[in-house]
């Protein structure tokens, strides 16, 4: 009775005041609880110094994070020194390691520096991907790593077919009149269909209910990440579950469409594995659903053979593939369309594509590998127009922390270490005219190498290795668009 009377007598301004006080107190609790995993004091920190400023920096980080990463690289990173960048509110500060420590960082086993714990914290996977157990077993990663590359000859014609279909449906065949598109909407129309041709096959990748809900789910993840990192951790179990309702609704709607396919595929592959004569010659389509079932059978993971689990395993792959591809495509086209018209880059790329396009049939892996100028233009856009400031995030999970002998520093348990993408990709020490978009930056080097004789190439094995590392999807400590190391995307 006393509480209800108190609430009834409270004015709206008092209620807002108590709410604001509650948030401040919970943020302070978060800040104090993180002190045990605070990075070594010897490492310089961006933002203002002092205990109070350290707390305030977490609010400033919302606006200043990218600027701090850039300044830190200029002051410390390019000189081989680590530095600390405060993160927004409920996120831990990051220890940004110099490029020279990339090999050390990547060589650390997952029970010392954990990729999965770092990703789970960043993506709030417990709430976004509908299950704690699903979040803590990176099974889809293993599936893609083991099966995608070996099935590229089969996958590429399918991707080609779907790309032709969705582009034709979107643009039409009217060559007389202009159509207007925003780049973002255009790529969001194309990419989900093409990605889902790889994941679930030709029927569902054109199913509007399935594709729209998987796209909406991916958008939910982004929204939830932004909201949760601005709230104190004590509210995450409540707000995270409330925000996750939209994720669940979109997954349920997509699941209603995908379940018949999953159950049919699972039934056939299980019967084949158990030696049923009528399924002896069954050949399943080569897509993510098949690969997941195949990998689960190989590892004897009965949990992964649940149709609901199989459906939910699509979610993190959908999120990762859709948004990174759309962002990469949009930024690439922005860079191309804003290039100097006199460079003739669009004509150069068009000529290369026409010269290498198979005279009949779909694109092949070999034909695509010959598009070195197109490849260079995309890699250069990834370098210049990156959409992240830091990458290769790892969380220290070892009880005793982890010691770095080169820096003579021990990073405590619970701290986060990252590599600097923003500074590395725009460093004049690494790239001539680093702030400019040079679409043929890499292809010039590769084409010059190809003109050398076999004897010259044999005499320069290290240069040959470097040339092979200039492709779009090849990572290095100097090119971090896909991360680096065994957990690269």
Q: What is the pLDDT of residues 40-89, one digit of tens each?
A: 788 999 987 766 666 777 778 888 889 999 999 999 999 999 999 988 77
Residues 261, 160 share a domain: yes
Task: Look at strands 94-97 and 83-85 and give their pairing.
Answer: antiparallel
Residue 68 resides in a domain: yes
Answer with the one of 297, 321, 338 that is the final residue of a domain.
338
Q: Which residues contact 145 (CB under 8 A, 6 or more apart)?
A: none
Phi, psi of 29 (to 5 degrees): -60, -45
Considering only CA atoms, which of 420, 424, 421 is closest in space to residue 82? 420
Residues 213, 79 share a domain: no
Residues 87, 169 share a domain: no
pLDDT digits (tens, 9 = 90+) for 197-211: 999 999 899 999 999
Structural domain of residue 259, as residue ranges?
Answer: 139-338
pLDDT digits (tens, 9 = 90+) for 415-452: 999 999 999 999 999 999 999 999 999 999 998 888 88
As a whole number of angstroms, the distance between CA 484 and CA 462 comes to 20
Residue 90 resides in a domain: yes
Residues 145, 105 share a domain: no
Query: 91 is written with which tokens?
Result: 């996120």
The pTM of this model reads 0.88
User: Which three-class secondary structure state does DSSP give residue 194?
Assistant: helix
Residues 109, 146 share a domain: no
Residue 347 resides in a domain: no
Residue 108 resides in a domain: yes
Residues 146, 293 share a domain: yes
The domain tally of the chain equals 2
Residues 451, 407 share a domain: yes
Are the beta carbons of 258 and 311 closer than 8 angstroms?
yes
As a whole number of angstroms, the distance between CA 70 and CA 96 comes to 11
Are the beta carbons of 138 and 120 closer than 8 angstroms?
no
Beta bridge partners of 418: 96
Residue 131 resides in a domain: no
Answer with the one of 306, 338, 370 that is the final residue of a domain.
338
| pLDDT (0 to 100) of residue 1 | 47
As a whole number of angstroms, the distance between CA 141 and CA 12 comes to 49
Residue 300 resides in a domain: yes
Residues 145, 106 share a domain: no
Residues 192, 311 share a domain: yes
Residues 169, 73 share a domain: no
- On average, the pLDDT of the chain sits at 88
Residue 24 resides in a domain: no
Residues 247, 99 share a domain: no
The separation between CA 74 and the C-alpha centre of its own chain, rounded to angstroms, equals: 26
Residues 167, 38 share a domain: no
Residue 445 resides in a domain: yes
């Amino acid at each position: 009775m006393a509480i209800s009377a108190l609430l009834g007598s409270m004015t709206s301004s008092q209620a807002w005041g108590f709410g604001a006080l509650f948030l401040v107190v919970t943020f302070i609790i978060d800040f104090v609880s993180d002190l045990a995993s605070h990075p070594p004091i010897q490492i310089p920190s961006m933002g203002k110094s002092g205990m109070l400023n350290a707390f305030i920096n977490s609010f400033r980080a919302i606006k200043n994070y990218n600027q701090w990463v850039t300044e830190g690289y200029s002051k410390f990173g390019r000189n081989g020194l680590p530095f600390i960048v405060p993160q927004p509110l409920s996120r831990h500060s990051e220890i940004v390691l110099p490029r020279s420590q990339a090999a050390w960082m990547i060589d650390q086993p997952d029970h010392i520096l954990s990729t999965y714990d770092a990703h789970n914290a960043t993506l709030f996977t417990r709430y976004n991907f509908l299950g704690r157990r699903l979040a803590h077993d990176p099974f889809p990663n293993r599936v893609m790593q083991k099966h995608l590359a070996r099935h590229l000859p089969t996958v590429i014609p399918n991707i080609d077919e779907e790309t032709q279909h969705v582009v034709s449906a979107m643009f039409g065949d009217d060559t007389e009149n202009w159509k207007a598109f925003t780049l973002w909407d255009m790529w969001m129309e194309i990419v989900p269909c093409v990605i889902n041709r790889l994941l679930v096959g030709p029927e569902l990748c054109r199913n509007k209910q399935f594709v729209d809900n998987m796209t909406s789910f991916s958008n939910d993840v982004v929204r939830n990440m932004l909201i949760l990192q601005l709230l104190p951790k004590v509210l995450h179990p409540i707000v995270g579950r409330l925000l996750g309702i939209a994720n669940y609704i979109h997954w349920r709607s997509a699941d209603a469409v995908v379940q018949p396919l999953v159950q049919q595929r699972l039934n056939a592959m299980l019967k084949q594995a158990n030696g049923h004569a009528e399924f002896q010659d069954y050949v399943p389509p080569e897509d993510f659903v098949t690969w997941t079932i195949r990998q689960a059978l190989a590892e004897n993971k009965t949990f992964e053979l649940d149709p609901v689990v199989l459906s939910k395993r699509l979610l993190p792959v959908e999120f990762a593939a859709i948004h990174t591809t759309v962002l990469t495509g949009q930024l690439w086209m922005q860079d191309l369309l804003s290039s100097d018209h006199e460079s003739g880059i669009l004509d150069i790329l068009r000529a290369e594509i026409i010269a290498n396009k198979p005279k009949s049939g779909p694109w092949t892996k070999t034909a695509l590998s010959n598009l070195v100028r197109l490849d260079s233009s995309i890699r250069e856009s990834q370098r210049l127009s990156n959409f992240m400031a830091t990458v290769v995030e790892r969380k220290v999970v070892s009880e005793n922390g982890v010691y770095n002998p080169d820096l003579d520093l021990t990073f405590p348990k619970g701290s986060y270490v990252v590599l600097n993408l923003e500074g590395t990709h725009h460093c004049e020490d690494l790239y001539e005219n680093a702030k400019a978009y040079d679409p043929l930056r890499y292809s010039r080097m590769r084409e010059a190498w190809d003109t050398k004789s076999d004897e010259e190439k044999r005499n320069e094995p290290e240069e040959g290795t470097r040339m092979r590392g200039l492709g779009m999807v090849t990572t290095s400590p100097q090119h971090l668009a896909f991360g680096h190391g065994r957990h690269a995307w």
